[in-house]
Structure 1
């Protein structure tokens, strides 16, 4: 199994909080629409430290091929395009577990 973790920092904007909630909604809606995507968990950060990110997602995939397919899937790319308009930057970690 492959785990994909993304942390997103949103642009400072009067609509920032609604953008974060909308991002969570859009990301959560990917489940069941992309083959190989086993699960998706998203969380809105409540920490207000300087180093804090705004939103985190943890997705699991069958394998690396499923993660690669997800990266270019049209439904995922729609979310990415929307995020480009509201996010400042993101960080990612991908790793394999011993689970199958």
Structure 2
């Protein structure tokens, strides 16, 4: 079984430049978790490049083995550090987890 974890965030900053900077930093920090958090099987994070007025600002698509692996990822110290930064710059979050 493989579990896909998809998360989209909208940044809290009111101006487009700061929103884009925060989104790029979120994506950079998430991508840096590859090779650090052993539960990650595949991970891609990126800042939105088109339609900034209607799209979310950044997305994460990550594959793990199962729900236990996702839960271990959630409490890994490296992820907790990234999550702390994300919470400091986001206004909203949406997530979906599904089996592929």
Same fold flag (TM > 0.5): yes
Which ranges of structure 1 fall in alignment gaps of 5 or more residues? none
- Measure how far apart 1:9 and its partner are: 0.3
TM-score (norm 1): 0.88
Corresponding position of 1:88? 91
Task: Decide which moves more: 69-78 or 11-20.
Answer: 11-20
Question: Hey, what's the Cα distance between the residues in 2 that align with 1:24 and 1:41?
Answer: 8
Which runs of structure 2 are paired with 1:15-26 in the superposition (5 Å)?
15-26=18-29
Task: Decide which moves more: 42-51 or 9-18.
Answer: 42-51
The answer to whether residue 14 in structure 2 is matched with residue 7 in structure 1 is no
Higher helix fraction (1 or 2): 2
Q: Name the Cα RMSD after superposition.
A: 1.4
Question: Hey, what's the Cα distance between the residues in 1 that align with 2:8 and 2:41?
Answer: 19
Count of paired positions: 97
- Measure how far apart 1:50 and its partner are: 4.8
SS at match of 1:83: helix
